[in-house]
Amino acid sequence: MTHYDVIIIGTGAGGGTLAYHLAPSGKRILLLERGDYVRREKDNWSSRAVNVDAKYHTKEVWQDKNGAPLHPHTNYYVGGNTKFYGAALFRLRKEDFGEIRHHGGISPAWPITYDELEPYYTKAEYLYHVHGERGADPTEPWASAPYRFPRVQHEGRIQQLHDDLSANGLRPFHVPLGIMLDESNPRKSRCIRCETCDGFPCLMHAKSDAQVIAVDPALEYPNVTLLTNAKVTRLLTGPSGREVTAVAVQRHGADEVYSADIVVSSCGAINSAALLLRSANERHPNGLANGSGVVGRHYMGHVNSVLLAISKTPNPTVFQKTLAVNDFYFGDRDFEYPMGHISFVGKFDAVTLSAGAPPFVPGMTLDIMAKHSLDFWLTSEDLPDPDNRVTLGRDGNIVLSYRPNNEEGHKRLIRKLEHLLQHLDMHPRLIPRNLFVDTRIPLAGVAHQNGTVRFGRDPRTSALDANCKAHEVENLYVVDGSFFPSSGAVNPALTIMANALRVGDHILERLGARAAVPVEIAR
Ligand SMILES: Cc1cc2nc3c(=O)[nH]c(=O)nc-3n(C[C@H](O)[C@H](O)[C@H](O)COP(=O)(O)OP(=O)(O)OC[C@H]3O[C@@H](n4cnc5c(N)ncnc54)[C@H](O)[C@@H]3O)c2cc1C
Ligand code: SF4
């Protein structure tokens, strides 16, 4: 059995970023990734291949709580789901780290404060090339440094919307985006600002995903090894149960075993929970590190909707995901509870609309709909319900049980947006008559999965301590989205990346390793 200093399971936002941070230490690091590299091919940018044929989704079949098959919209590749993400890289709000009262109940506090994570947010933004503008988002928390790169400009239709929303008293702002776009020098810019970004892998390697930004650079170090197609099936402990002594892997149909001083699970919130549950043994009868019983519980994935606002005004935007609105994040005069976040998805085309099967709009072809729609993405916080959970079926397969909660704020958010856009109709330049098509993202849409292996100070109510180390296992850490005790209402990836850097510092200290080369901070 080959022994390493650190084994990291999963190479997405959490695992990939951690590998990058640990690589310069000289410690022997093994990355185990169940997927392969995304093949670079024309289909990367085909709406049909990506959105209709779901070519890159796992073919694994899960079950919902009623035993019905669930085809999860998730991806197993080097870089994890960041290969496909929209690269909207938001910080949680400072208040999200404390307890917040919602219409549907309490969003619990985190065991760390925003101020503790802030330096790592700054480093993660720097590392992932985030383009943004400080001071424009009305709910944004304080930051110790400006963004490294300027905001990504709106195209005409979105700028028009921005101006109209501003004229109506809102404070729209530019989405912080992790793309390697140089608008001052388009000829040399790695990113070509195309229409197939959100949901698609980037053929140019110009999206700041975890493979391009973190895993590939980490592999430049001779002390870092990556095994692809290496699915971890179980973590084994020694007789005391206090230490992971072996990591069981299936690779190309063969069983292999590895060991390390420190083992980090970063399989994504659903798969990390499943791995711990599958690793139950005599000392851990309910699943590894699960004396509290919380492993797999409190699954959150946000309440998400796509809202198509279809107007007579054409929307020829290529890269649409540049505008967001947070004015209702914490509530409004007529609704005192948090509602959430409004932004955009990538521009839909007719092929994509055919996959989403939106309600038929009389008299309109999908092509006309696509050419006239503003394609909004609305995110609200769902609350951590212990009965929303990952369990294992009889064959060891993943079962995902989820009952939506805290929906009132989301419904209000949708109504706010509809009202606003209708109100904007008063404006001669805008929409003479809006038509809204509202689609709630189904359970299979697990893009924002989090919460299943929560961190906390009390081992009775959390599986991980504040450093994301398992309370009950001395050398086991979890650094994917599982650790969230509450989910906020902005996209999760930057928080996962920042936390991986934070936990990385702790692991380096524990290993007595020399500090990683610090990420330079722009000032
Ligand atoms: C279409 C889409 C758009 C998105 N857009 C945004 C966005 O704009 N902004 C944002 O913040 N977030 C976005 N997200 C969410 C974001 O991608 C995730 O929050 C983030 O990638 C989660 O990081 P993670 O480390 O928890 O897991 P992942 O990135 O999913 O990484 C988990 C890794 O573990 C591997 N793995 C799983 N099980 C095993 C096993 N047993 N053995 C070995 N390896 C294993 C997987 O193959 C994968 O590589 C989007 C997601 C999708 C799908
Ligand atoms: S070229 Fe730019 S816009 Fe197109 S997929 Fe890559 S990062 Fe996204």
The reply to whether 281 falls in a domain is: yes
DSSP string, 59-99: ---EEETTS-EE------BTTGGGGTS--B-PPPPGGGGS-
Return the pLDDT at 368.
85
Q: What is the reported pTM?
A: 0.96
The reply to whether 521 falls in a domain is: no
Number of domains within the chain: 1
CATH number of domain containing 19:
3.50.50.60
The reply to whether 379 falls in a domain is: yes
Q: Please give the Cα distance from 412 to 406 (Å, whole number).
A: 11
Residue 278 CA from chain centroid, whole number:
24
The reply to whether 479 falls in a domain is: yes
Ligand in closest contact with the CA of 57 = 1
Measured by CA distance, the residue closest to atom 37 of ligand 1 is 267
Pick from 166, 146, 145, 162: which is nearest to 154 by CA? 162
Pocket-testing residue among 37, 44, 74, 82, ligand 1, by greatest number of atoms within 8 A of Cβ: 82
Ligand in closest contact with the CA of 91 = 1
Residue 288 CA from chain centroid, whole number:
25
The reply to whether 50 falls in a domain is: no
DSSP state of 481: G
| CA 141–ligand 1 middle distance (angstroms) | 25
The reply to whether 518 falls in a domain is: no
Pocket-testing residue among 81, 179, 352, ligand 1, by greatest number of atoms within 8 A of Cβ: 81
> How many Å is the Cα radius of gyration of the chain?
22
Ligand 2: list residues with CB < 6 Å. 179, 191-194, 196-197, 200, 202, 204, 206-207, 319
Pocket-testing residue among 152, 191, 321, ligand 2, by greatest number of atoms within 8 A of Cβ: 191
Per-residue pLDDT of the chain (523 residues; tens, 9 = 90+): 899 999 999 999 999 999 999 999 999 999 999 999 999 999 999 999 999 999 999 999 999 999 999 999 999 999 999 999 999 999 999 999 999 999 999 999 999 999 999 999 999 999 999 999 999 999 999 999 999 999 999 999 999 999 999 999 999 999 999 999 999 999 999 999 999 999 999 999 999 999 999 999 999 999 999 999 999 999 999 999 999 999 999 999 999 999 999 999 999 999 999 999 999 999 999 999 999 999 999 999 999 998 888 887 889 999 999 999 999 999 999 999 999 999 999 998 988 888 765 565 666 788 888 898 899 999 999 999 999 999 999 999 999 999 999 999 999 999 999 889 887 753 333 333 455 666 778 899 999 999 999 999 999 999 999 999 999 999 999 999 999 999 999 999 999 999 999 999 999 999 998 655 544 443 3
The reply to whether 324 falls in a domain is: yes
CB 58 within 8 A of CB 444: no
Domain limits for position 37? 2-42+59-511
Q: Residues 6 or more apart from 511 whose CB is under 8 A from it?
A: 5, 6, 25, 27, 261, 262
Q: Which atom in ligand 1 lies closest to the alpha carbon of residue 16? A: 25
Structure tokens at 463: 């599986």
Measured by CA distance, the residue closest to atom 27 of ligand 1 is 268
CB 237 within 8 A of CB 473: yes
| CA 8–ligand 1 middle distance (angstroms) | 15
The reply to whether 19 falls in a domain is: yes
Measured by CA distance, the residue closest to atom 7 of ligand 2 is 207
| CA 419–ligand 1 middle distance (angstroms) | 34
